[in-house]
Structure 1
Amino acid sequence: MDAEKHALLTLHLIPKIGNVIIKNLISYAGSAEAVLQLPKSKLIKIPGIGNQTTENILSREISEKASNEFLKAEKADVKIISYLEKDYPYRLKQIPDAPPLIYTKGFFPPKENKPTIAIIGTRNATEYGKKLTEEIISTLAPLDPIILSGLAYGIDIHAHRSALKNNLSTFAVMGSGIDVIYPAAHRSTAEEMQQKGALISEQAFGSKPDAFNFPARNRIIAGMADLVVVVEAAKKGGALITAELANSYDREVAAFPGRVHDTYSEGCNKLIKQNKAHLVETAEDVLYIMNWELENQATLKQKVLDLASFEEEEREVLNTLLQNDRVLPIDIISIKSQINLNKLASILLNLEFQGIIKSLPGKRYQII
């Protein structure tokens, strides 16, 4: 077993420690394994670490629990993925409070070059909301996007089922342990999703769907998405929390407007009124906001590149993109092309002006 990963899971399982404190501890000690080897006299002096947390870090019991988690994962065909591994979702890694580990079951990791759309809303979805969910997913299906939601009643489960109906990958972020399907009525959908998508949780095996787990679940949904679409929402609730988080992570947020006195349109209208969400009425609005093109449109505009007509470093950048499904984040382009970020930004801008590439959410670039 990977000792560093085991140490990271041990820290993750400590009650009320929090992801930011875990990262601070690792930064202080150099690694998760080194944190567990620190003496009590040093641990107690680290800001934010009290007596109880110090005792928990040194506890043999929690270390043994981590070992049991790995055994349970192996038996249940569950992957436990740390933020240090390549399979950890790239978008999620960018947020400041990303979980150090996630549990996944199914087809994982998601393809990073696919648009990822979180579709969320009230548990008390109206027929209007269900119809909007179906329409936006079916219209955007040619993009082959990943549909992300929370497996809850209402808009969430309708989004997952609409994705499956359109043969799309769909991922559910859970507020319970990966082995605790909540609500239980959605078990068959959760199982079907795993053929092309997956279940995701940061909670330990057996964790109940306690109320305080759901705001934490919502940040993962916001962090993994390029775009968060709020279909229907009351004035308060989880959908609005997710939208607020998405804004704080510099993700795009969109909302469908509704009638003034409709309870489950109040949240959407509020987001739009406060300029916290784009007003969308159709899937075409989403394409415009995100600068996305449907497959048939993209095919018409596809260009056969004559690389000989470009400068040497431009050729290097274009070759890098062509070798990686035509789309990559800027930091990966820099690593693969061996061009520093400052110079690379200038090259990308020039290629964008020429209409050769386009910028995408999450500082990614794609050959048009």
Structure 2
Amino acid sequence: MTTDITIIGAGLGGLALARVLHVHGIPATIYEAEPSPTARTQGGMLDIHDYNGQPALKAAGLFDAFLGLVHEGGQASRVLDKDATVLRDEPDDGTGGRPEVHRGELRRILLDSLPAGTIQWGRKATGIRPLGGGRHEVTFADGTTVTTGLLVGADGAWSRVRPLLSDAQPEYVGISFIETYLSDADTRHPASARAVGDGALFALAPGKGILAHREPGAVLHTYVALAKPQEWLAGIDFGRADEATARVAAEFDGWAPELTALITDGDTAPVPRAVNALPIGHRWDRVPGVTLLGDAAHLMSPFAGEGANLALYDGAELGNAIAAHPDDIEAALTAYEEALFPRSADAAAEAARNHELCFDDDAPHSFIALFTAHEQAG
């Protein structure tokens, strides 16, 4: 392998790519804008699927380490209405194919599996220039540059690499999340802890919902979902935590107190997250020396639970394709993208359908019907 490989972004997909390449004896360098691996928290729980995320971790030689991170009981799920009536309750019996792990811990085992120096921290890409012949020059915020024979955009929703391939930009899908946390929940918030149960909670109504996960250490991580225009979210001053909390909680007036406490009793300031997506079926023509993976390639609504799984799988599949064609990068990228486009289009379409069913006029019953349909199909 003589082509130098540059990966922009040290998220799960970029790390999986670098790790699979390392397994095959192929070096790569990751450039990450954040100053260190601990610069920010890494989100909540992820369900890692047995048909994409788990095979990726096997290809990376990290499956046993992954099993050591699994949150016992985390595959449990329940659907409630606004009165906290349990409409569906699925315990974790150990036979499911989507064990839950914490994103930060999963990222840690990937980081720890790479040789020292693989990741260059504090290197924010600010510009990219094609040089011809499949080579590119990347400029960083500190004024330094690198040139590379293979450039991989693993840099998320607002990718700096994507414009080399596509004019597509993420667009708001009509739903915003507001994140909150309750700590020591079993002791300090027992009613809310009982409502959430051992795994995931979906308390839904038309146009809104309270979604929560139980995390290790008796932490309840809540995503309040509201079908609101972006202007509504922008009109809330989240710098004033009490006022923001009150505005969000007002949307759930009349809901059961054990559910609204997930909003009002948060131990941290509420954090807004507008949900954006690329067009379903996003693809591009082959451009020599550059490709995308993960959210940079196919950012989608989160309601299929595929984002992290596809990022891991993309990284592993690209790594395997490069290893299979070490002397022909274009053949590797062609093979990778031919498989990437249909699988990401299918996942994005499923995510969009699920999104609609979560919050349509028949919610939460439409969401329960979705569970039933998946069981019958499986």
Query: What TM-score do the two structures reach when normalised by structure 1?
Result: 0.23
Query: What TM-score do the two structures reach when normalised by structure 2?
Result: 0.23
More strand per residue: 1 or 2? 2
